[in-house]
Structure 1
Amino acid sequence: MKEISVSSAKKAKELLKQMSMEEKLYQLSGCMIFDIGETYDQCRNPLYGNYRSAGHFMHWKRKEPAAPSEVAARINQDIRASIEAQPHGIPPLIHEEALHGAQWGMATMFPQPIGMASSFDDELVQEIGEIIGKECAAVGVRQVLSPVVNIARDCRWGRLMETFGEDVLLSSNMGTAMCKGIRKNGVIATLKHYADNYSYGGRDSNSSDSSERVMREVYLPPFEKCIKEGDALSVMAAYNSWNGIPCSCSRELLTDILREEWKFPGFVVSDYKGVEGVCGSHHLTEEEYQAAALCVKAGLDVNLPAASGFSLLKKAVEEKILSQEDVDKAVYHVLAVKFEIGLFEQPFGDEKEAEKIVRCEAHKKTALEAARESIILLKNENVLPFDRNRTCRVGVFGASAAEVPLGKNYSGPYKRRWEAQDAKTPLQFLKEYLGEDTEVVYSPDFSEELAKGCSAMLYFTTIIEGEGLDRCNICLPSDAMVQQVDGGGLIVDKAEASVFGNQEEDIRKMFHTNRNSAVILLNGSPVDMTGWIDSASAVLEAWYPGEQGAQAICEILFGDYSPSGKLPVSVPKNVGQLPLFYAHKPSGRGYHYNENDGNPLYPFGYGLSYTTFGFGSFSRCIKEGEILISFVLENTGHYDGTEVVQVYVSGSNCDVVMPVKELKAYRRVTLKAGEKERVCITLPAASFQYYNQGMKYGLHNGDFTVMTGNSSENMFNEFSVKIREGKIFLKDSE
């Protein structure tokens, strides 16, 4: 972890001494203005230290969206006005959402994070983070409210798509990679939502009853790793409460763990109106200014986004429930980070650079690569890939085939869908891809008339989900229209989806009519497939693959690219199994139900390929306290392809009950048909560390089984390890 440099710390302390109380309070407050019209400059108070990007609101009243250079010019004008108005010329931090692409306008859009996680490709995710950072810095945005590193273990939660899935290691690695990429460009990554942001039934922002052990073993590690290895400089406190205290004013979370234990050097922001929620939602205080004081004293630094934050803090100071020491501590955190990222030296965006790099060919190429790696082949009864030479008429069904596959959650700016002239829907790209010699027919619902004479058929699903859209029915929706408006339109504004007809019935009819067909799931979280999966001959889990997703889907359907994605979540058979995840603790009785065996329909880490792989010649040894695993991986099929090798560990005879298995390492290996390669994977000592009965984390005694395979349920090799008195031994070498 990079600490704040001595130089930045010194400058922050010196500046802090010169500031008035009013200046300090402005640095702890935010401002957001929706209407970027004629009165904008008069309405915008330039004294605040934090602003939601004006770019987010520049597009909704225009016929054509604002160009990157226009966004940069507007933000630069705002920054200049603030510096000139500030008594000490402190530049403001401009922030923006950037879940899978910068949301200040029409920036490059990547797969939703759940799709990124399916790649099991840390390097690719870091590259995505770097691009997001570049496209933000170019317009003057220097803080992004991303990544989401909450562990998602219940697919009823409408925001599962924003996460990297159910696994602690995968989510930690993906979040860390994203933070590293973002930070390269002098942009601050903001970890959210700290911590344990959903609860029973997948309900968003509900009270957490997780024990300290569960928090330490599951929900906190991704935040810790992103801070210590990803150099994240901001954390967003969650709306929910934990251990009886709202996260926004939890000293245990914000000070004891975050700062004293992890040595976090950055600043903490509220989720939008989260400070006010301590009073209005959690009823912990009678007045909002009292809530503001509680939050700052607990370790929260900046109240986003409303301008009312300043007046709340001012009253708290006047009422003497917030001291100068409390304020100075918070302001120091903000100033130190501003100095650390070079904001004082270079506060502005670059209008020419913005026009040059935003959605440049290199960035779109990375978006295509990410889309390819995110798609998972779930089922294939010798149908895929389709043979282009034998495909003369293709039937395309499902309303989502006619939309750019971004997902409607955090995609594009305020009150305007993301758009680009060169971005294609699956239907558009398929027509171009197959050319004039192949007829492509389309209907939003399955049509027996259009299906006649089709040599292949496709069905693209539609799901109703997102922030504020938690589900109690995880089947494919039918005959539904949903509109969701976020409170105050602060973040997602309005998400709407329409489904006319019965998707499950349409899918069954399609496969009954022609077995040479495939379902393409466009979704952000798993769905109940039991009503139609037995009749299906091929299923692709495409998630929301981003602006280049249409091309990636077509390439995989027709064999130009072999699917390599793996599930970052367990797919349940039905909603009654939820929450469902592979790394559970052992049961005292069993896991089955009267109606099913309790197992997932598809397990974590699962994903098919067009080729086959063989594992062999395994060896292992201990070197410098780490276990080195070596084996030969061979592509035994007829397609070039990529396998994701996964190493799991299971513990017994430990001081506490251990999960039945946990992912501890993974590696993507790409091989041409017939090629073989010796693969080496290192398991560090940390792979065997755990919290004992006294909640001390370390290398405690225990017996462990190390398993290597290509999913959480498919292993090719295992061996035993024992830990005694802090030392690692291979059992077969005693």
Structure 2
Amino acid sequence: MTPPSSTSDDTTSGLLAQLTTDEKIALLSGAGYWRTVGYPERGIAAFTLNDGPHGVRAVSADDHLGASNAATAVCFPTASALSCSWDTSLARAHGSALAAAARLADVDVVLGPAMNIKRTPLGGRNFEYFSEDPCLTGRLAAAVVSGVESGGVGASLKHFAVNNQEYDRFTISAEVDERALREIYLRGFEIAVTEGRPATVMSAYNAVNGVPCSENHRLLTGILREEWGFDGLVVSDWGAVQDRVTALRAGLDLEMPASQGLGAAAIGAALKSGELSEEDVDRAAARVVELAARFAREDRPEPVTTSEAELADIARTIAQQSIVLLRNERGTLPLKRTTAVALIGEFAENPRFQGGGSSNVQVASFTTARKEISRFLPSDQVLHARGCEGEEIDEALLDEAVEVAAQADVALLFVGLTEMTESEGFDRETLSLPASHLALIDRVSAVTPRTVVVLHKGSAVDIASWHDKADAILDLNLGGQEVAAAALDVIFGDVNPSGRTSETVPLRLEDTPAHLDYPGGLRRAHYRESIWVGYRYYDRRKMPVAYPFGHGLSYTDFAYADPRAVVHDDESVTVEVAVRNVGERDGFEVVQVYVHDDVSSVARPERELRGFSKIWIAAGESVTARIELDRRDFAFWDEHRDRWTIESGAFTIEIGSSSRDIRARVGVDLAGDAPTAEIIDRHTPVRYFLGDPEFAAVIEQFVSSYPMFGGDFDSLPPLARRIVTETINGMPLEKLRLVSGGAFSEDAIASAIARLTSLR
């Protein structure tokens, strides 16, 4: 969002000056469910906000969820699918297409993208979220926002912040330590805010460390505005505000939807009592007026297209580039066009392409595998069986599927999670596919020469229990209304698959980092796993997984060579690597750059994604991938100093095709900020002062002569010497004054602190 100029500030002040206090207060709450209050006769227009992140639902002002009377619109792939593209250019195109769809529906603000971290695969709304990793999440969300805003429409980043489960989502408090908060749960938002510059940010239903997000001054003002420089409007999630006065003071500008006058009455009463000032009201009202003026401008940017057919084409391209080929044994895919194919599963003719809840889009049409396969095979080479209906096993349908599969060269099994399994409003109870889908995989794979499992789901599922029964596994996620056409484009080789997993696929639910603490209780969810989320956890523990973060196969192969890293004066780093397509087909490769801190004073992950690049390489050709890293990419959140810190020393930059497929490494040395993360004070352990030669000499003299050691430290047995050394080294500096018999005075301790502090 473009920062307001002094001229726009003057215009806003002039418009506000026309309004009474009550009229300004009215601006701070919705006029209905989707529209703001406006005073068009005085030059203040109302504007419309609406879902969603994967397609626009234009509804009437009094419609709540919008499913009853929504106009049809194009349904794009969900964030869980888009994230598997690892393509910021594609994400920007997605945002531009959303803006075009919004303009067609007279919507001014699209409520998305949603960008919370996938803490647990059970999260019911995971299909709306990008990834378990904040770098991938933030870069893609920033690109979506940029695309939306370029089309003259506002984006609304949500749900700020730490909104990782649907269970008790209105009342739960996410109890999370500061380091995890900064490195995992806020980092993606920070990237999207500072790089994408959204018009609005939406506060979440939940609380963070006991403070509701809509009333959280530290989140909405201290971090979002003062640290990150956000200059837009903060809007509540629908119905999230509990205390309107506290929320306004915290930095929440617009309460949605209309609160039947309750919010306005509370603000008015607080003004009279002095709890709020007129300045508090004017500040929030100005942001509403500024955003309304932006949408009323005559030079509002035009959208990229006004054709729904073109938007559907974009949705198909996004789906194609987001499909992940997880497994492909014996070169099963792509299929030859002489193959007899059995299409099996209810998703073959009624695909699940979106999640349930507020993001649900009413579509005019959608593609199906049963229809689309006619582009590749004549009807006499295609057999079909429904196989199941719903989640319970139907023996008659199952028997029919087995009979059909036995007649084919290959079975395409379209399975996944049903709409009753994952949705906004509730979390999943298991990683397993429905019993009817598991039975299909088991029975069909036993009678057909080759089995291809085509997955429709919004988050990780249990693959391990049936993995070896499938010759190929194609993960579609929830790929929007064109996903069936895109899937067959990949299956028959018109498109070379290039998607990569955006979350780790675990072997068991019990292996997941948050398993012991999800979903919490007594209105608290304790994030005891801290920063160890997703691959950070699995890689640190060297734990086997079904498929690692960043994994995905292609119909060609790539070789990496000549890694280079150049450190610049500001300690940003340019990483380059030559990637050669050594196969016979053109295709995309996703180059992933991870950072490992070789020596750290705090526990850090084995590797952390810090950059990526999706590059097109023709068969036999070589392309140099270039990824820029900034200083923050080498930092951790220092809880002692309450800031980002880069420790001086060596870092290894790992370049690969997944978090567990590292193809090249290169080292860099950074000067950093400080040699250690410790606070230097009277309680700092002695070992942190031993780098000071003067202090170390006194310590050595003290240890060798102290009566407790008989005045002859060197004569002690080896174990005793080690115990003494470790005891002294770990002793707080303050303690030396008490045990040294005067060897360390108050002045000596103060001098040691001053010297070590000066070295920093």
The DSSP-based 3-state class of the residue aligned with 1:8 is: helix
The DSSP-based 3-state class of the residue aligned with 2:174 is: coil
CA distance in structure 1 between the aligned counterparts of 2:194 and 2:74, rounded to whole angstroms = 28
Moved more, 324-333 or 569-578: 324-333
Q: How is 1:404-415 mapped onto 2 (pairs within 5 angstroms)?
A: 404-409=351-356
**Equivalent residues of 1:154, 1:202 under 8 A apart:** no
The DSSP-based 3-state class of the residue aligned with 2:296 is: coil
State the match for 2:384 in structure 1: 441
> How has the CA–CA distance of structure 1 residues 33 and 166 changed in structure 2, closer, same or farther, with 3 Å as cutoff?
closer
One-letter identity of the residue aligned with 1:91:
A
One-letter identity of the residue aligned with 1:520:
V
Matched, 1:699 2:646: yes
Matched, 1:367 2:315: yes
- The partner residue of 1:357 within 306, 322, 345 is 306
The DSSP-based 3-state class of the residue aligned with 2:253 is: coil
State the match for 1:682 in structure 2: 628
**Equivalent residues of 1:98, 1:145 under 8 A apart:** yes
CA distance in structure 1 between the aligned counterparts of 2:493 and 2:422, rounded to whole angstroms = 31
State the match for 2:217 in structure 1: 251
State the match for 1:225 in structure 2: 191
How many corresponding residue pairs?
626
**What's the offset of the Cα at 1:246?**
0.5
State the match for 1:606 in structure 2: 551
**C-alpha deviations, 1:165-195, integer Å up to 9, x for none?**
1111110101100111111122111111110
CA distance in structure 2 between the aligned counterparts of 1:238 and 1:10, rounded to whole angstroms = 32
CA distance in structure 2 between the aligned counterparts of 1:199 and 1:139, rounded to whole angstroms = 31
Matched, 1:18 2:18: yes
**What's the offset of the Cα at 1:685?**
2.7
- The partner residue of 1:401 within 331, 348, 353 is 348
- The partner residue of 1:88 within 30, 35, 42 is 42
State the match for 2:478 in structure 1: 544
Matched, 1:296 2:245: no
**C-alpha deviations, 1:680-734, integer Å up to 9, x for none?**
3333333212323312224332431111110000111112222225599xxxxxx
**What's the offset of the Cα at 1:202?**
10
Matched, 1:101 2:63: no
> How has the CA–CA distance of structure 1 residues 322 and 623 changed in structure 2, closer, same or farther, with 3 Å as cutoff?
closer
CA distance in structure 1 between the aligned counterparts of 2:384 and 2:375, rounded to whole angstroms = 13
- The partner residue of 2:368 within 379, 401, 425 is 425
**Equivalent residues of 1:383, 1:516 under 8 A apart:** no
**What's the offset of the Cα at 1:342?**
4.2
CA distance in structure 2 between the aligned counterparts of 1:576 and 1:528, rounded to whole angstroms = 11
**What's the offset of the Cα at 1:598?**
3.4
**What's the offset of the Cα at 1:643?**
1.1
Q: How is 1:187-586 mapped onto 2 (pairs within 5 angstroms)?
A: 187-198=153-164, 206-275=172-241, 278=242, 291-308=243-260, 310-318=261-269, 320=273, 321-339=275-293, 341-343=294-296, 345=298, 357-361=306-310, 363-392=311-340, 394-409=341-356, 418-421=362-365, 423-445=366-388, 446=398, 447-463=401-417, 464-478=421-435, 502-579=436-513, 581-584=533-536
**What's the offset of the Cα at 1:679?**
2.8
One-letter identity of the residue aligned with 2:385:
Y
Matched, 1:714 2:661: yes
**Equivalent residues of 1:172, 1:226 under 8 A apart:** yes
One-letter identity of the residue aligned with 2:54:
H
CA distance in structure 2 between the aligned counterparts of 1:87 and 1:223, rounded to whole angstroms = 37
RMSD over aligned Cα, in angstroms? 2.7
**Equivalent residues of 2:26, 2:264 under 8 A apart:** no
**C-alpha deviations, 1:19-53, integer Å up to 9, x for none?**
1122112211114369xxxxxxxxxxxxx735xxx
CA distance in structure 2 between the aligned counterparts of 1:622 and 1:598, rounded to whole angstroms = 33
The DSSP-based 3-state class of the residue aligned with 1:568 is: coil
CA distance in structure 2 between the aligned counterparts of 1:110 and 1:360, rounded to whole angstroms = 13
TM-score by length of 1: 0.80
TM-score by length of 2: 0.78
Gaps of 5+ in 2: 59-70, 389-397, 515-532, 676-760
Q: How is 1:8-87 mapped onto 2 (pairs within 5 angstroms)?
A: 8-32=8-32, 49-50=36-37, 86=40
> How has the CA–CA distance of structure 1 residues 383 and 512 changed in structure 2, closer, same or farther, with 3 Å as cutoff?
farther
> How has the CA–CA distance of structure 1 residues 399 and 29 changed in structure 2, closer, same or farther, with 3 Å as cutoff?
same
One-letter identity of the residue aligned with 2:662:
M
The DSSP-based 3-state class of the residue aligned with 1:198 is: coil
Select the structure that is richer in strand.
1
CA distance in structure 1 between the aligned counterparts of 2:437 and 2:104, rounded to whole angstroms = 43
**What's the offset of the Cα at 1:638?**
2.1
Question: Identity of paired residues, percent?
Answer: 30
One-letter identity of the residue aligned with 2:151:
N
- The partner residue of 1:627 within 560, 573, 577 is 573
CA distance in structure 1 between the aligned counterparts of 2:168 and 2:345, rounded to whole angstroms = 27
One-letter identity of the residue aligned with 1:467:
E
**Equivalent residues of 2:333, 2:472 under 8 A apart:** no
**C-alpha deviations, 1:62-83, integer Å up to 9, x for none?**
xxxxxxxxxxxxxxxxxxxx65
One-letter identity of the residue aligned with 2:481:
E
CA distance in structure 2 between the aligned counterparts of 1:87 and 1:261, rounded to whole angstroms = 38
**C-alpha deviations, 1:140-181, integer Å up to 9, x for none?**
211111011211121100111111111111101011001111
State the match for 1:281 in structure 2: none
**C-alpha deviations, 1:74-118, integer Å up to 9, x for none?**
xxxxxxxx65xx552421110111211222232222111111110
The DSSP-based 3-state class of the residue aligned with 1:566 is: coil
CA distance in structure 2 between the aligned counterparts of 1:49 and 1:260, rounded to whole angstroms = 26
**Equivalent residues of 1:582, 1:661 under 8 A apart:** no
> How has the CA–CA distance of structure 1 residues 258 and 622 changed in structure 2, closer, same or farther, with 3 Å as cutoff?
closer
**What's the offset of the Cα at 1:203?**
6.8
One-letter identity of the residue aligned with 1:23:
E
One-letter identity of the residue aligned with 1:613:
F
Gaps of 5+ in 1: 35-47, 51-81, 279-290, 479-501, 592-596, 729-734
**Equivalent residues of 1:157, 1:203 under 8 A apart:** no
**Equivalent residues of 1:250, 1:298 under 8 A apart:** yes
State the match for 1:673 in structure 2: 619
CA distance in structure 2 between the aligned counterparts of 1:87 and 1:619, rounded to whole angstroms = 62
**Equivalent residues of 1:654, 1:701 under 8 A apart:** no
**What's the offset of the Cα at 1:665?**
1.3
One-letter identity of the residue aligned with 2:161:
A
**C-alpha deviations, 1:342-368, integer Å up to 9, x for none?**
425479x99xx99x814133x222212
CA distance in structure 2 between the aligned counterparts of 1:237 and 1:449, rounded to whole angstroms = 53
> How has the CA–CA distance of structure 1 residues 586 and 529 changed in structure 2, closer, same or farther, with 3 Å as cutoff?
closer
**What's the offset of the Cα at 1:322?**
3.8
**Equivalent residues of 1:193, 1:238 under 8 A apart:** yes
> How has the CA–CA distance of structure 1 residues 203 and 562 changed in structure 2, closer, same or farther, with 3 Å as cutoff?
farther
The DSSP-based 3-state class of the residue aligned with 2:383 is: strand
> How has the CA–CA distance of structure 1 residues 386 and 360 changed in structure 2, closer, same or farther, with 3 Å as cutoff?
closer
CA distance in structure 1 between the aligned counterparts of 2:447 and 2:168, rounded to whole angstroms = 37
Matched, 1:150 2:116: yes
